[in-house]
Each structure stands twice: as structure tokens, then as C-alpha cells.
Amino acid sequence: MDRYSTIIAVAGKGGVGKTALSAAFVRLLTEACPDKKILAIDADPAVGLAGALGVEVRETLDDIRKAIVASAENGAPRAAIELLGEARFRILDTLVEERRFAFLAIGRPEAAGCYCTVNAYLKEVMTLLARDFDYVVVDGEAGVEQINRRVMEKVTHLVLVTDPSRRGTQVIQTIRRVAEELVMFRRCGAVVNRLEDPAMASELDLGGIELLAAIPADKVQAENDIRGKSVFDLPPEAAILRGAAACLTRLGILPSGGEKGKEV
């Protein structure tokens, strides 16, 4: 993190709204920090962040990894550092450049089973790319695997998303325990999503994790998804955007009062 990038990793159980929140973070950062370089990474093999941001993915990280491996196998063996250097240039060439942010998807390996190889590669990519962007938002895969394998070894902010279910809160507590041992982060907190009554958040057992925001069930966002629209089509008053703004403000990434974003 040579440029002191702000790296926001979003994690939690599947189906709790991680991707919607990640997309909302990207939108808010592009609006508050138009002069900053912002990267969105879809690190979930379910590949949902692209749709949430209205991005068309042409090439994924796993496509690049496979091409580099094939190149190495077909030619003379090369040192790992040389391959990583080549990877960095290829990735920069294949980033989806939107008007206000860049996007990278890890992709879905063709073979079923372990994602160990692509996760290890993602770890190196995050280290390489962090220095080129001011803000990086990572939509992590469901569960604890990427934390366990130290894919997100160096992040500045770890945002754990849950719904009101006991299973959801247990998962974020597990992620927090593992992250405390394996991940270097400055701040960690929880966002409780899809609450019938936001006041219920105070009654949930978050295991001592700081509550950053409580977001009510959002029919506007649900309808937006059904229609295949992106987060940029949501009205500013949408609950997911208000909740995401509260979260970023609580973390000190976006100051209160609508000022420009700052690095922390």
C-alpha cells in the first residue's frame, strides 16, 4: 500500500447483501471523490458486482492467470517475480475502465472444487494494484475462506455484513476471529442489512463487533435488481445508499456533512 490506499474489504455470509453494499460504496466514493482513482474488485466467484455496477466483463483475473501459466509452460521457465510483473501489466491492460472507476473480476475457474490457486493469485494482484489506486473496494466471497487463506491480508477497513439471522451474526463473528489472527486491518465493523426495524440492530448479538450501520429492507433496491439496473440508477434516498454512507462516515472514510472523501 505504497500510496496509502484505502482498501475496503466486504465479507459475510452469502445472501446478506454484500454485493449491494459494495456497489453502494463504489457509487458514493465516485460521487464524493471525483479526483481520486477508485478500483472495484469482484472477488466473489458468484460474479455479482459487475451487474450491480452496470459493468460488462470481458476478461477476468482467472483468464489472465491461465494465459500466463500457459505462456510459462510453453516457453522457458521464468522466475515468479517476472511472471508477477507480466501479470501486473496484463491486468492493467484488461481492467474495465468506467467513467468514474476501474473494475476487475476474479472470475470462476472452469473446474469445480478448490479456489486455492486463483485466491493466491488474487492476493498478489491486490498487493500489486493497491499502489495504483486511492480507494479499493473488494466484494469478497461468502464465508471465511478468503480471510482464512490470507487473500485479504492487508486491508485498511474490514466491513462485515449480516442479516438479522443468528447464522449471519455467527458467520461475521467467525470472520472477525480469523481476521484478528491473519489480516492486518485498521478498522473493522458490522453492517446489519434487511432489518424490518433498524432499531432491532441493538438487540442482535454481534460478539462485540462495532455496529457501523443498520439498513432496513429496501424495496426500491430490490426492484432495481429485478429490472437489471445498476446502483447508479438508485435514487439518493435509497436505504442501501443511506446505510452505506453512514458506514463510510462512521469509518472516517467519508466525513459527515457531505464533504469530499479523505484517506485515513
Per DSSP, the residues of 95-149 read SEE-SS-EEEE----SSSS--HHHHHHHHHHHHHHHTT-SEEEEEPPSSSHHHHT
Q: Which residues pair with residue 136 across a beta bridge? A: 7, 39
260 closest CA partner among 147, 135, 127: 135
Question: Mind listing the pLDDT tens digit for each residue in 96-120?
Answer: 888 789 998 877 654 444 445 555 6
Lowest pLDDT segment from 57-71, 80-94, 107-121, 160-174: 107-121
Cβ atoms of residues 37 and 82 within 8 Å: no
Q: Which residues pair with residue 214 across a beta bridge? A: 192
- Assigned fold of 6-251: Rossmann fold (3.40.50)
For residue 165, pLDDT beyond 80: yes
For residue 256, pLDDT beyond 80: no
Tell me, rounded to whole angstroms, the distance of Cα 161 from its chain centroid.
11
Query: Within 10 A of 37 (CB to CB), how many other CB atoms are there?
Result: 14
Strands across the sheet containing 102-105? 96-97, 102-105, 38-42, 135-139, 6-12, 157-162, 187-195, 211-216
Instruction: Read off the DSSP letter of residue 252.
Output: T
Query: Within 10 A of 47 (CB to CB), how many other CB atoms are there?
Result: 17
Domain boundaries, the chain: 6-251
For the full predicted model, state whether its pTM sits above 0.95: no
**What does each C-alpha distance from 167 to 73, 172, 174 come to in angstroms?**
44, 9, 11
- The Cα–Cα gap between 73 and 71 comes to 6
For residue 84, pLDDT beyond 70: no
